[in-house]
Every structure is written in structure tokens, then in C-alpha cells.
A = this chain, B = another copy of it.
Amino acid sequence: MGKSDLNKQKKREALLNTAFELFTTQGITRTTINNIVEAAGVAKGTFYLYFKDKYDIRNKLIAHKASRIFSVADDALSKTQLTELDDRIIFLADNIIEQFNADKSLLGFISKNLSWGIFKNELISSGGSSDVDFYNIYTVLENSPRSFKNPEILLFMIVEFVSSTCYSSILYNEPTDIETLKPYIFDAIRQIIRSQELDPDAYLK
């Protein structure tokens, strides 16, 4: 990679970082391209060399940040000895919740954008991408000795359940703080998994 290419990459990253900083602190609507380029220390026109508009940079940020979160959680999981499916999924949920708890602005940003659409898109387009493999997480379910009615729907429900409940709790302490809420969430996850299992008693055997 030439010196010029390196410089380009640096500019692009400066814009991404600055935009993220502003999006999370001011909100997307209130952040203007002017704000971004000013804070990033580049000229206005430079922004348009790298991104089509504000929504282009937003989408790229969401995908990038969401990727990282799953990647971090997945890496942590691989360092454990957990084998039970319930335990593995709850470990992931807990890790992700903790990441969000540690960086609330990140939660506010990707929060309700972390929908099944992006999830699926990433699963599909993650082919040779350097970004994370959501696929790993998906395979957690597929490779389990236990079998489920519909693994995709199960995963979908868990993701939606966790993200929507922790959003309210972490950001607004509603209906209670996240530490208090966690056991309820984890219990519920175990029950949701059980509700979808073809042989509900399999795990007892």
C-alpha cells in the first residue's frame, strides 16, 4: 500500500470516527456534514470523496460497529469451556449487554438499528469481508446436538428480545437497572429456547 493510499485510509477513518462521535453525542439528525468535516479537520468536499451523504456514512458505521460487538462477544466465548447451548447463548447475550452498558452512546446509536435486516445482510455479505462472522453465532445453534423447530426464528427472537429490553434498561433504567433486570432476561431466554425445542426434555437426558 502506497503512502498516498495510507493517507487516504487515514482520512476516511478520521471521518468515520468523527461522525460516530457526533452521531452518538448529538444524534444523527442534529449532526451536519459541516460539523463532521470541521471536527475531522478536512475540507467539505473531501467528505464527498469517501461517502455519498450522511446516511451512507451512518450505514457504514452501524454495520462496522455491530460487527465489532459480535466479534468481541464471539472471541470471548471461544475462550470459555462452555458447551451447553443455553449457557453459550446467555454468555453471548451477557457479553453484548456488558459492552453496551460500558458504552451507552454506542447502544443509543445502533440500538434499534441492529435489526434482523442488518443481521441477515451481514450474514450474506460477510463472505470474504474482514469484518466479523455473524455466521459463527448462527452455527452455535445449528451445531448443537439439540434440535429446534426453526433455528433462525429462535435466534431472531432472542436478538430482538435482548436488544429491546436492555435498551430501555441501560439507557433509562426502565423498568429497572440492567443488573437487576439481567436474571429476568436470562431466565426468559432459557424459556424461549425451551419453547422452541423439538424435544423439550432433551437437555435433561
Residues of chain A touching chain B, judged by Cβ–Cβ distance below 8 Å, are: 29, 112, 115-117, 120, 149-150, 152-154, 156-157, 160-161, 163-165, 167-168, 172, 174-176, 181, 184-185, 187-188, 190-192, 194-196
Contact = CB atoms under 8 A, between A and B. Distances in A.
A116 B165 CA distance: 9
Copies in the complex: 4
B153 A175 contact: yes
A168 to B, nearest CB: 5
Contacts of A150: 184
A174 B152 CA distance: 10
A184 B116 contact: no
Nearest to A172: B117
Given A190-B195, A194-B191, A196-B184, A117 B157 contact: no
B184 A117 contact: no
Contact of A157 (B116, B153, B163, B185): B185
A184 B29 contact: no
A164 B174 contact: no
